[in-house]
């Protein structure tokens, strides 16, 4: 990691290669320590850190809060990936609910194609985790939308 000492921004360009590199080092935290300062505001760093957390059972402080911030400043469909991943892990309901609340607030502002893909994920989330709170008012507005959207909203509401 010494090569990055003088040029800190180049590490962000090399994130795709870090996936291979992290498998070859003894302690993956060596790589992640340098990336943590770039975590806020960079969804690619969030994805890499999440990969390390899941693969190597490493924890990073404030990972979920920072990632939620990253999702709020980046495009929604690109980051729906995290919701899908959260379903497969032992993550607290509170954290998942935070992500869902943010996404649901954006539903009226995204294109129909993106909306359908997001609703598909929400249907999956709500079917797997029954205790999650649902914002019925938001979904009732979407119920008046196009047929594909309406079908997915009915699955969420019921």
pLDDT digits (tens, 9 = 90+) for 140-150: 777 777 788 88
Strands (E), 51-117: none
Highest mean pLDDT among 70-74, 91-95, 147-151: 147-151
* 27 pLDDT higher than 50: yes
Of 92 and 2, the one with more pLDDT = 92
* 152 pLDDT higher than 70: yes
CA 104 to CA 97: how far, in whole Å? 10
pLDDT at 1: 40
Provide the whole-model pTM: 0.52
3 confidence band (pLDDT: 50, 70, 90):
very low
pLDDT at 42: 80
Task: Answer whether 53's CB lies under 8 Å from 88's CB.
Answer: no
Contacts of residue 29, defined as CB under 8 A and 6 or more positions apart, other chains included, come to 52, 58
């Amino acid at each position: 990691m010494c090569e990055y000492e003088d040029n800190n921004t180049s590490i962000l360009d090399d994130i795709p290669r870090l996936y291979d590199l992290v498998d070859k080092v003894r302690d993956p935290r060596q790589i992640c320590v340098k990336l943590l300062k770039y975590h806020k505001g960079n969804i690619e760093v969030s994805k890499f850190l999440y990969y390390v957390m899941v693969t190597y059972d490493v924890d990073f402080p404030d990972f979920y809060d920072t990632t939620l911030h990253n999702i709020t400043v980046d495009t929604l469909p690109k980051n729906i990936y995290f919701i899908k991943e959260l379903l497969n892990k032992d993550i607290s309901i509170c954290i998942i609910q935070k992500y869902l609340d943010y996404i649901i607030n954006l539903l009226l502002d995204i294109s129909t194609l993106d909306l359908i893909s997001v609703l598909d994920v929400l249907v999956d989330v709500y079917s797997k985790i029954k205790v999650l709170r649902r914002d019925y008012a938001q979904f009732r507005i979407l119920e008046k939308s196009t047929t594909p959207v309406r079908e997915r909203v009915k699955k969420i509401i019921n």
